[in-house]
């Protein structure tokens, strides 16, 4: 009997030892995987705030461009320098292949002027868009042109703006009597602008899209309507704290005639 009890005790102890060994080899289960972080798209308010900051950053700037204009009344390629001092001062100068001034458009408090040195002529008009049409072949609003170059929204358009999101595109829309503007933002970058107003109807594309960060500079800008296109390649662009006042005045040249384009209209 003692023998049987000893045998049973030995078997029980062996099973207990085996159970302890097996239990000790079992690893703790892996922790459940963490759910991936969900990146929420920026709110329209955040994008609008960035555009407000960008407009202020590029309020005054200068840039060096290569432009290619193709339209019914104007077709040319040229290097150009543009100076913008918001809201009423602009200098837009194009050059011949020899580096001479081909055309100089100036907007200041006195009015808009367009100098064509080869013609020894200064053109004037009541509205700057009239001279821009003579210069570039399209009546593109001058203040809007500056904002298109800097990929920003005119501050007055930001005061009453609608926002719509669809398929990853944020559309910022400004409406006023007889005018429609739409800026399309994709992944925090301005990709396209639609313009519909009395002076100009068309669209603008940025390649690549321009990040909304203040210092981001456009590379290639295409401004187009049904019958006119201008492609702009930005070689250099930087904000300007101040300008010499003389840069927004026409040079004094002898023997230059003045032509008023509004006469007879």
Q: pLDDT band at residue 253, thresholds of 50, 70 and 90?
A: confident
CATH 2.40.50.100 fits 44-260, yes or no: no
Q: Does 44 have pLDDT greater than 70?
A: yes
Which of 70, 91, 62, 95 shows the shortest CA–CA distance to 80?
95
Given a contact cutoff of 8 angstroms between Cβ atoms, the answer to whether 81 and 261 are in contact is no
Extents of the domains making up the chain: 44-260
Query: In this predicted structure, what is the pLDDT of residue 245?
Result: 81
Mean pLDDT value across residues 91-111: 95
- Residue-wise pLDDT for 141-173, tens only, equals 999 999 999 999 999 898 889 999 988 999 999
- Residue-wise pLDDT for 106-146, tens only, equals 999 999 999 999 999 999 999 999 999 999 999 999 999 99
Residue 150 φ/ψ, nearest 5 degrees: -90, 5
Global pTM value: 0.82
Convert the chain into a string of H (helix), E (strand) and C (coil): CHHHHHHHHHHHHHHHHHHHHHHHHCCCCCCCCCCCCCCCCCCHHHHHHHHHHHHHHCCEEEEEEEEEEEECCCEEEEEEEEEEECCCEEEEEEECCCCCEEEEEEEECCEEEEEEHHHCEEEECCCHHHHHHHHHCCCCCHHHHHHHHCCCCCHHHHCCCEEEEECCEEEEEEEECCEEEEEEEECCEEEEEEEECCCCEEEEEEEEEEECCCCCCCCEEEEECCCEEEEEEEEEEEECCCCCHHHHCCCCCCCCEEEECCCCC
Task: Count CA atoms closer than 13 A to 6's CA, side-chain side.
Answer: 3
Q: pLDDT band at residue 10, thresholds of 50, 70 and 90?
A: low
């Amino acid at each position: 009997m003692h023998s049987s009890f000893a045998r049973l005790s030995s078997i029980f102890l062996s099973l207990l030892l085996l159970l302890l060994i097996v239990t000790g080899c079992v690893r703790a289960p892996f922790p459940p995987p963490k759910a991936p972080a969900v990146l929420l798209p920026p709110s329209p308010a955040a994008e609008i705030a960035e555009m407000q900051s960008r407009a202020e950053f590029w309020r005054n700037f200068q840039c060096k461009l290569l432009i290619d204009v193709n339209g019914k009344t104007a077709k040319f390629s040229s290097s150009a320098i543009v100076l913008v001092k918001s809201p009423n001062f602009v200098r837009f100068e194009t050059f011949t292949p020899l580096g001479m001034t081909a055309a100089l458009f100036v907007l200041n408090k006195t009015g808009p002027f367009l100098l064509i040195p080869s013609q020894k002529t200064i053109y004037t008009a009541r509205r700057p868009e009239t001279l821009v049409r003579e210069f570039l072949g399209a009546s593109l609003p001058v203040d809007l042109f500056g904002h298109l170059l800097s990929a920003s929204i005119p501050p007055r358009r930001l005061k009453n703006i609608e926002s719509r999101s669809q398929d990853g595109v944020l559309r910022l829309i400004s409406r006023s009597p007889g005018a429609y503007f739409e800026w399309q933002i994709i992944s925090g970058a301005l990709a396209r602008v639609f313009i519909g107003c009395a002076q100009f109807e068309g669209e603008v594309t940025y390649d690549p899209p321009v990040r909304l960060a203040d210092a981001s500079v456009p590379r290639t800008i295409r401004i187009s309507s049904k019958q006119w296109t201008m492609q702009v390649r930005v070689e250099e662009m930087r904000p300007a704290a101040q300008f010499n006042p003389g840069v927004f005045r026409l040079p004094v040249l002898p023997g230059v005639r003045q032509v008023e384009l509004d006469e007879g209209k």
